[in-house]
Structure 1
Amino acid sequence: MRRTALTLSLVAAASLLSGCEALGIETATQINAKKDAEGKAIGSACRHAVKSIEVCFSSYPRAGKAAVFAGWREMDQYMRENAVVGMPTDTEAGATPAAPAAERSSAGGAHKS
C-alpha cells in the first residue's frame, strides 16, 4: 500500500515538473545560455563590421563582456583563416549619408526658367 502511494506521488511530482517546460517557463540555465549566445552574436557581428572590441562594449553595455569578447575572438579567427574582409558600415567608412529622395528630385529635376 505504501509503495503504490509513494509511486503515485513520484509520478505526480514528475508530471508537475515537466509541465513547466510545456508552459514555456525558462529556467535560469536556459536564460544564461540565451544571454551567452546573444553576446557571442553581438561580438561576432561587431568584428565582421570592423568595430573594435572597445566600441562593441560601449555600444552594447547590457551584453555580457565575456560572451561578446568570445564571439568577437571567434569571428576574428574565422576571418583570418578564411581571408574574409570585414564589412564596415557607411558611417565608419567615412561616407556621407545619401540625400533624401525628395531633395534629389527637386535639386536636379525640373529646371525653372
Structure 2
Amino acid sequence: MSTRHLVVSCAVLLLAGCEIPGVYPDPKVLAREADAKATGGACRHALRGIEDCYTLNPKASKASVFAGWKEMDTYMRENKIEGVASVIKIPVEGGALVEEAVAATKEEAAPKTKEPRSGKAKAS
C-alpha cells in the first residue's frame, strides 16, 4: 500500500507544475471581453441606449457590452453620477467645426458652430 501511495503522490506533484494546453482561457478572448465590457460602460456614461451601443460596436460581444453597461448603470445610480452627453465634432466647409451632441431630444442636440483655431495664440 505504501508504494502505491508514493507513486500516486509523485504523479500528483509532477502534474501540479504542468501547464496543460486548453485548460486556461485564451488571453486574447479575455482582452476582447474586457474591451467590450469597457465599451458598454462608456456607452452608459455617454447616455447612450444599449441598442445604440450594440449598433455602434457590432464586433463586440453583446453579452459583455450589456454587462459593462449594466455595471456602469448600477454604479452611476448608487453614486448619483450624471452622465455626459457625447459630442461629435464634424468638420464642414470653410474650416469650421460643428459640434453635434448625441442626445434624446432635438433641442439638446442642436448643432453649435465654432470658429476654427488659428496657429497663433491671442495676446491678453
Structure with higher helix content: 1
1:96 aligns with 2:111: yes
Q: Which has the higher contact order (CA 8 A, sep 6+)?
A: 1
Q: Which residue of 2 aligns with 1:35?
A: 32
Deviation (angstroms), 1:58: 0.2
Deviation (angstroms), 1:28: 6.0
CA distance in 2, matches of 1:33, 1:101: 42
Residue 80 of structure 2 aligns to a residue whose secondary structure is coil
Residue 69 of structure 1 aligns to a residue whose secondary structure is helix
1:65 aligns with 2:62: yes
Deviation (angstroms), 1:44: 0.1
Deviation (angstroms), 1:99: 3.3
Residue 95 of structure 1 aligns to a residue whose secondary structure is coil
Deviation (angstroms), 1:85: 0.1
Deviations along 1:49-80, one digit per CA (max 9) or x if unpaired, are 00000000000000010100000000000000
Q: State the superposition RMSD in angstroms.
A: 2.2
Uncovered stretches (5+) of structure 1, i.e. residues with no partner: 1-13, 18-26, 103-113
TM-score (norm 2): 0.57
* Letter matched to residue 44 of structure 2: R
Residue 66 of structure 2 aligns to a residue whose secondary structure is helix
CA distance in 2, matches of 1:56, 1:36: 15
Deviation (angstroms), 1:95: 3.3
Moved over 4 A (4+): none
CA distance in 1, matches of 2:26, 2:48: 30
Structure with higher strand content: 2
Percent identity between matched residues is: 40
| Number of residue pairs aligned between Structure 1 and Structure 2 | 79
Deviation (angstroms), 1:101: 1.9
